[in-house]
Amino acid sequence: MTLIKSISGIRGTIGGKVEENLTPIDAVKFASAYGTWLKQQRHKDNYRVVVGRDARISGDMIQNLVMNTLVGLGIHVIDLGLSTTPTVEVAVPMEHADGGIILTASHNPKQWNALKLLNAKGEFLNGAEGQKILEIAESNDMVFTDVDSLGKITINDAYIDLHIDEVLDLPLVNKKAIESAKLKVVVDGVNSTGGIAIPELLERLGVYVVKLYCEPNGHFPHNPEPLKEHLTDLSEEVKKEHADLGIVVDPDVDRLAFMDENGDMFGEEYTLVACADYVLGQTPGNTVSNMSSTRALRDVTEKHGGTYNASAVGEVNVVELMKKTNAVIGGEGNGGIIYPELHYGRDALVGVALFLSLLADKNLSVSQLKATYPLYFMSKKKIELTPALDVDSILKTISETYANENVNTIDGVKIDFADSWVHLRKSNTEPIIRIYTEAPSQNSADELAARFISELKQIAGI
């Protein structure tokens, strides 16, 4: 059982001992710290926070604890109930709220839950803000309001519909072309809120929907991370239904992956590549992804005359660099699409609408579309080190060894070679170095990873 406190929020497994798991006491403590921090930022008479959750079994319990803690601080709560991460992000500015909390552990299994924290723009907090909340939580310096100043809870279950309205109103979403394409799509909603939002979006786009695991009961039918090895049922259903494609999201609907008409993965890394190809073709500009994402985005961006930039890993870092470079689209290679025309957050609904607009515009099958992009293959490995080893020193030695190559050290060490790259990052919580590589073939990517694992072990003397 685990409790992880970090600058991006608190997450853990349900049950067990306080401070070792995500217990009710831990949920209340952290919600108290967030509410206290919020009141320190904005001195006003009334405070409002939007709260929503995915369909996890523990979600209702955790949400009630969090909402009533905020009430005790004198903060009014807009309760979205079952929702998605991007929906809460969209709702915060629409409600003129001071912040938002999403109760979700994203792609983690059902025993996990978490509090994801938003600012008044509906965007994730930065590192300094997250650190301050951790400090407040540890200090127990929280003061609750008197009985006459308690907050109130207002239920608003319309925001998935409103979110879809906002997506459909985007100029680049070609509803007419999608409807004319008469697509048949299988949706795997992993029995969470994607099973509500994605089919409704598709039906409003004129798509024929086949639902698979779309009952939002929190009983995930497979590992909820949308990776090939977890999606055999979706593959079989796409083939059985003779569907044009399959769509799968994670439990909180900020990650998106597609499956082609043959039941083969389009590739989670290529979700952003395809959406960027469409957006750049209509509105030329720059793009951003994190350093561990595919080089294909750079290739597609440069094809359209734009500039690609890589950020440190983490959504908040991607967003920061997108704003700095005026990127028209960005995201992460795990299937996260960030389209600033709507909001600065990973959004599977936006991704679906842009992807289908591209598909209808090009009049190609999903497999034919994939064949139009540069083909790269990834390897993702890790090596465990003893706590006594100085990981920073090991990575510094690597960067010095390859000083004549294109080396980036903003987040670990990334080395760009002519037709491949390697990214080495240390874990923030354990003595592990993660090794990500990409090359024109799977064998080349695996060989590059093996080579650097060997070099790292040699430097470390293990």
**Residue 346 CB contacts under 8 Å (≥ 6 apart), including other chains:** 85, 86, 254, 255, 315, 331, 332, 336, 337, 338
Catalytic residue from among 8, 32, 83, 106: 106
Using CB atoms within 10 A of its CB, is residue 408 exposed (0-12), middle (13-18) or buried (19+)?
A: middle
Whether the CB-CB separation of 48 and 170 falls below 8 Å is answered with no
Four-point Cα dihedral 148, 151, 154, 159, nearest 10? 160
CA torsion sign for 88, 92, 95, 98 is positive
**Torsion angles phi and psi, residue 55, rounded to 5:** -95, 20
DSSP for 202-238, written as a single string: HHHTT-EEEEES---SS--SS-SS--GGG-HHHHHHH
Q: How far apart are CA 439 and CA 337, in angstroms?
A: 23
Q: How far apart are CA 328 and CA 342, in angstroms?
A: 11
Whether the CB-CB separation of 81 and 95 falls below 8 Å is answered with no
Whether the CB-CB separation of 187 and 253 falls below 8 Å is answered with no
Joined together, the tokens standing for residue 26 give 């831990």
**Torsion angles phi and psi, residue 399, rounded to 5:** -65, -35
Q: How far apart are the first and last CA of the chain?
A: 30
Q: How far apart are CA 328 and CA 282, in angstroms?
A: 10
Say which DSSP state 58 is in.
T
Helices (H), 59-119: 59-72, 85-94
Number of H helices, E strands in the chain: 15, 20
Q: Is 32 a catalytic residue?
A: no
Catalytic residues: 106
